[in-house]
Every structure is written in C-alpha cells, then in structure tokens.
Amino acid sequence: MACEKAANVSSDYRTSGVLCLCHSGTLVGGRRYGKLGAVECLGGNMVSDQDRRDRLARAQELKHRGESARRKDGAMARLCYEEAVGLFREVDEPLVLAHTIRHLGDVYLEQGRPDLAEPCYHEALGLYRSNEDDSSLDLANAVRSLAVLRWEQARTLWEEVNHLYISLHIEAGIKESADRVAALSTR
C-alpha cells in the first residue's frame, strides 16, 4: 500500500518517496509501527529509518569496494557498483547515485560495453543538472566521461568509413576519413 493511501499517516514530501510518521498502532503497508515510528515509502515499499540507514551504509560500502576493485578486478567493481546503484536509488541520494552511476559507466566502457556506459552517463548528467547543490566538478567529470565515449565512438565510425571508402576506391572519402581518424587519434 502506498503511504499516501494509508490511514492516520501524515506525509512530508521529498525529492522522491514519502516520509510517513505513523501514529501509535497505525497499520501501514501491512506492518505495525509504534508511536511516531518513521517509515519511508520508496517505490511503493515501506522502509524504516533503520532500514534506510542500513541500506545507505551497505551502498556506501559497495561503492568503496567498487572503487578499490576497479583497477584490479573490473568484474568485481562492476558487481559492486551495480548493487550500490540499486541501493542508492532506494534511499534517495541523488548526488551519490550520480557519482556511482558515472563510475559504473566508466567500468562498462573499460569492459568494452559502450552500449551500457552511455545510459549511465546520461543519467548521471541528468541527476547532476537537476540537483541544486554545487556539483560542478562532478558535472565536469560526467561530461568528460560522455565526451570520451563519444570520441571513441566517432573514431571507430571514421575508421569503419575509411575502410569502406578504401574498398570502394573513393579518393575524396579516403582522404577525409583518414584525416579525421588521424585527428581523433592524436592525444
């Protein structure tokens, strides 16, 4: 049952979810809470304050494990970041979620999965841009990650078109694509 529909519950609306203060003995979502026990409605699920703190702590731990594993074990980093992202979504921490999603995108890109990386970068950018807190360095890093992805994609496409023009013997196309590949390959 959604918090808004529960009886005897007052709501304090936040970015997402609803914080419900339940009166003594109030039945919310099939669970009974004591006097002024706080319950958060996240995605239709009731989560107590303690559950939220536990999930947040677990998400932070997974994020740190992902950061530690990233250079040594990309598969482990990916698993840690994926689980952390799910938990950060549940506890409504948009800036930490954005940071973790961006790093998950970086891991996907490092693993040769730009198709999975790009949506991560777009989501992180959206979260940073919609948040009122000062996150300009994080925003810059997210834009950089997407730019690196697009740079790699552009270079790959120009290499492909170069091979096509070579096979078709189109001199103007060969020259243009070779020049663009050279420009994109210079760091």
Q: What is the pLDDT of residues 51-79, one digit of tens each?
A: 999 999 999 999 999 999 998 999 999 99
Distances (CA, A) of 29 to 13, 32, 51, 161, 169: 18, 8, 15, 58, 69
Mean pLDDT of all residues in 22-42: 37
Cα–Cα dist 13/3, whole Å: 11
* Better-predicted residue by pLDDT, 13 or 148: 148
Scored b (16 or more CB within 10 A) or e, 127-152 reads bbeeeeeebeebbebbeebbeebeee
Q: How far is CA 102 from CA 110, 118, 162, in A?
A: 12, 9, 32
Kindly give the pairing relationship between strand 31-32 and strand 27-28: antiparallel
Q: How confident is the model at residue 26 (pLDDT cuts 50, 70, 90)?
A: very low
Give the percent of the chain with pLDDT over 90.
67
For residues 86-109, one letter each, b for 16 or more C-beta atoms within 10 angstroms of the residue's C-beta and e for the rest, the string is: ebbbbbbbbbbbbbbbbbbbbbbb
Q: Is the pLDDT of residue 2 over 60?
A: no
State how far the Cα of 155 lies from the Cα of 111, in Å rounded to an integer.
Answer: 18
| DSSP annotation of 108 | H
Distance of CA 165 to the CA centre of its chain: 39
For the whole prediction, is pTM greater than 0.95? no
Query: What is the pLDDT, as a whole number, of residue 45?
Result: 54
Strands (E), 33-135: 37-42, 45-48
The pLDDT of residue 174 is 96
What Cα–Cα distance (Å) separates residue 182 from each residue in 19, 23, 36, 99, 185? 56, 68, 66, 33, 5
Instruction: Please give the mean pLDDT across all residues of the chain.
Output: 79
